[in-house]
Amino acid sequence: MSAPTMTLHYNPASPYVRKVVILLHETGQFDRVQLQPTVLTPVNPSTELNHDNPAGKLPALRLADGNVIHDSRVILDYLDHQHVGNPLIPREGSARWRRLTLASLADALLDAALLIRYETALRPKELHWPLWLDNQQGKIERTLSYFDQEAITELSAPPFDVAAISVAAALGYLDFRQPDLNWRNSYPRLANWYFEVNQRPSMRATQPSA
């Protein structure tokens, strides 16, 4: 086994990091990357991460040549070009734009869920903005409905690609941070799909933790 040639700023609670690690497992590249634990919040940045990514956001991937790339979608695209198997992001045509659009929609769900997390976990309860929270939750519900009603057939078709990975990571984050949401009751087709993909070794190896 060769030594890792890349370093990933890593936090197991981050769904954006999880997407990257899932892809590493799925493409047989996990041993090429050293995971560098990085703990931060919006009010407690990491000096080392800021050095590699001025935006101070996870994930960030330091390459063998010392260059650093960041934003999970950029990292996923880079890593998908580094293995010999079938691509998990279509290289061209309408399939590429459709799969990336579904992945982007999953990220939008994550953005809303994270904003809710920050508002409820970091701000005193008396300063919470209910209307704003309701609007973020509305984004989550509309997106779940879309995946359940409009995109489930596409998500179910092999391979387990960038769109499926992104949606699975988003659903895992909802279970992790909003366990009382009970989204499965309202979106049964999406729930059945998630039950199946959640058995994959890459998913089981990357279950989020605080």
Over residues 50-63, the pLDDT tens digits come to 888 888 888 999 99
Can you give the CATH number for the domain in which 13 is found?
3.40.30.10
Please check whether residues 103 and 193 belong to one and the same domain: yes
In the listed set 59, 80, 101, which residue is the last one of a domain according to the structure? 80
Of the listed ranges 47-61, 107-121, 154-168, 185-199, the one predicted with least confidence: 47-61
Residue at a domain's end among 52, 80, 108: 80
Looking at the fold, whether 24 and 45 belong to one and the same domain comes out as yes
pLDDT band at 1 (very low <50, low <70, confident <90, very high): low
Work out the pLDDT band at 198, boundaries 50, 70, 90: very high
Q: Which domain holds residue 194?
A: 93-200
Number of domains into which the chain is organized: 2
Q: Is 160 found in the same domain as 68?
A: no
Cα pseudo-dihedral 175, 181, 185, 190, rounded to 10: -50
Residues 74, 97, single domain; the answer is no
Cβ contact 144:109 at 8 Å: yes
Token digits for 47? 């000096």
In a domain, 72, yes or no: yes
Whole-prediction pTM: 0.94
Please write the tens of the pLDDT for every residue from 134-144.
999 999 999 99
